[in-house]
Amino acid sequence: MTTSANDTSETSATSATIESALLQQRPVKMLIGGQWVEAASGKTFATLNPATGRTLAQVAEGDAEDINRAVAAARKAFESGPWPKMTPSQRGRLLWRVAELIEEHAEELALLETLDNGKPIRYSKASDVPLTADHFRYFAGWATKIEGETIPVSIPNMFTYTLREPLGVVGQIIPWNFPMQMASWKLAPALAAGNTVVLKPAEQTPLTALRIGELMCEAGFPDGVVNIVPGFGAAGAALAAHPDVDKIAFTGSTEVGKKVLQASAGNLKKVTLELGGKSPNIIFPDADMKWAIRGALTAIYFNSGQICTAGSRLFIHRSVYDETLGQLAEAANAMRVGAGMDPATEVGPVISQEQLDRVTGYIESGKSEGAVARTGGERLGGDLSDGYFLRPTVLDAVSDEMTVAREEIFGPVVVALPFEEVEEVAARANQSIYGLAAGVWTSDIKKAHKMVSLLKSGVVWVNTYNQFDAAAPFGGYRQSGYGREMGRAVLDAYTQIKTAWINLR
């Protein structure tokens, strides 16, 4: 295994500049009604750098009172003022401008994301920032294409048509694993459709969402259209229960997703949930093994395994099991683990001490049930001991029933499981409360299509993994949630249909 704790001097200098600038502008305020304000309570909380455990910034701590203020501002902006009078084209231009501003501030946003979340800067630059900009641009295009239909009813002299209208005030609650991308997945389609928004970022990673809020103000969004309230779970709960919120879009754990659903019942909010996963990644013996092993590494270690689609159950055909697992463990062991600010880093820290404890707890539970770590399994020390670094871990001698094979670990830990037959592996892969994503590695086109049809999940990747595009719908089956993000499909979640009957007689 290679560790890389030392930044290059140039990146380190930029990082130090941003860190000190952040610490100077204490506290980072919240966005309500077009104003940057402190929490009503005056409280703040610390957001940490997971690579060092040090405080990065103090942030205004929103609670139920701030959610009330933000919802009132969003309601006012939805009902009156410039927003409801804007044409779809004007809304689209604003979203397009946000994409441009994100690109103009790409370097700063990438650094901020890496500092706050810990992810390798190479991914913040190559993936998080461009995909965030792309999301705004893609939905800028949709603003002018949200169409109704004419309906050929069978009643004489009636002209019947539908309009697609916005829902109203939308509450959006996002997690810490892709803070900037998650903000764009939520904000862009909601605004393209003409809603107003109150966004609650995760307590661990509020900084890039707030920065994007600043860029949205700069782009010209009217006051109150976008409100961003950082805070703890209680702020999310207040948003989910608020009687004047029309819809909640939530991404996070299945456990909290269920709470959000219960809280939303009071005024029958529309709810969409993008929740957890325990995704199977299946390697057949006829696969191109070099790519399959690379793909299996990406599937589980990308973002330190903190991704809802993580390929955390690796099924390998028994005929190639030992050899493939040996190569995978060797490659995992060779990955460069280190501070995200180091451009050479491939695997950064996990998000927090709590998450580190949770993931190591799972590894210990696996071992106590008989699993064996082929590589990894422990926290890293030395230069990395202040951060939350874990070695990429491969668990062998696992059975389908073990906790580590059933529950979402959300860390750099894969469990390996041998299989023999197509139907058998599909049935075992489907044996989960989740159904978010699945991977298949084979050079047999018939087998590929068969697996696509057998696997019960919202996305199936064949000979690739973790591909996302603003145009391609994404979401879960079963307890991975419902509703879809991205593509045309997400617009259904942010609009409602009005049917008009005109008597022509």
Residues in the site for ligand NDP, rule: CB under 6 A?
173-177, 200, 202-203, 232-233, 236-237, 240, 251-253, 256, 259-260, 275-276, 308, 355, 358, 408, 410
Minimum distance, C-beta of residue 103 to ligand NDP, in the bound complex (Å): 26
Burial class (CB in 10 A: 0-12, 13-18, 19+), 309: buried
Q: Using an 8 Å Cβ cutoff, are 230 and 200 in contact? A: yes
Positive or negative: CA dihedral 92, 98, 102, 103: positive
Q: Are strands 393-396 and 413-419 parallel, antiparallel or unpaired?
A: parallel
Nearer to ligand NDP among residue 304 and residue 495 (C-beta) = 304
Minimum distance, C-beta of residue 434 to ligand NDP, in the bound complex (Å): 9
Nearer to ligand NDP among residue 441 and residue 474 (C-beta) = 474
Rounded to whole angstroms, the Cα distance separating 272 from 34 reads: 26
Nearer to ligand NDP among residue 194 and residue 252 (C-beta) = 252
Nearer to ligand NDP among residue 80 and residue 262 (C-beta) = 262
Minimum distance, C-beta of residue 207 to ligand NDP, in the bound complex (Å): 13
Positive or negative: CA dihedral 227, 228, 234, 239: positive
Rounded to whole angstroms, the Cα distance separating 439 from 464 reads: 7
Minimum distance, C-beta of residue 177 to ligand NDP, in the bound complex (Å): 5
Minimum distance, C-beta of residue 271 to ligand NDP, in the bound complex (Å): 11
| Residue nearest ligand NDP (C-beta atom) | 236
* DSSP SS3 for 89: helix
Rounded to whole angstroms, the Cα distance separating 34 from 73 reads: 9
Consecutive H or E run containing 393: strand 393-396
* DSSP SS3 for 447: helix
Q: Using the structure block, give the residue that is written with the tokens 């697609």.
A: 164
* DSSP SS3 for 76: helix
Question: 264 in the Ramachandran plot: left (φ > 0), alpha (ψ -120 to 50) or beta?
Answer: alpha
DSSP 62: B
Q: Using an 8 Å Cβ cutoff, are 15 and 51 in contact? A: no
Minimum distance, C-beta of residue 90 to ligand NDP, in the bound complex (Å): 31
Nearer to ligand NDP among residue 7 and residue 274 (C-beta) = 274
Q: Using an 8 Å Cβ cutoff, are 304 and 350 in contact? A: yes
Minimum distance, C-beta of residue 406 to ligand NDP, in the bound complex (Å): 13
Nearer to ligand NDP among residue 336 and residue 358 (C-beta) = 358
CA diameter of the chain: 84
Sheet containing strand 393-396, strands side by side: 372-375, 393-396, 413-419, 313-317, 280-283, 437-441, 459-462
Minimum distance, C-beta of residue 359 to ligand NDP, in the bound complex (Å): 8
Rounded to whole angstroms, the Cα distance separating 270 from 245 reads: 9
Nearer to ligand NDP among residue 4 and residue 432 (C-beta) = 432
For 141-171, b where at least 16 C-beta lie within 10 A, e where not — what string?
ebbeebeeeeeeeeeeeeeeeeebebbbbbb
Minimum distance, C-beta of residue 287 to ligand NDP, in the bound complex (Å): 27
Query: Is the link from the previous residue into 156 a cis peptide, with omega within 30 of 0?
Result: no
HSE-CB of 287 using CA atoms within 13 angstroms: 28
Nearest to residue 172, comparing CAs of 196, 132, 199?
A: 199
Residues with a catalytic annotation lie at 274, 308
Nearer to ligand NDP among residue 4 and residue 279 (C-beta) = 279
Q: Using an 8 Å Cβ cutoff, are 56 and 49 in contact? A: yes
Nearer to ligand NDP among residue 5 and residue 459 (C-beta) = 459
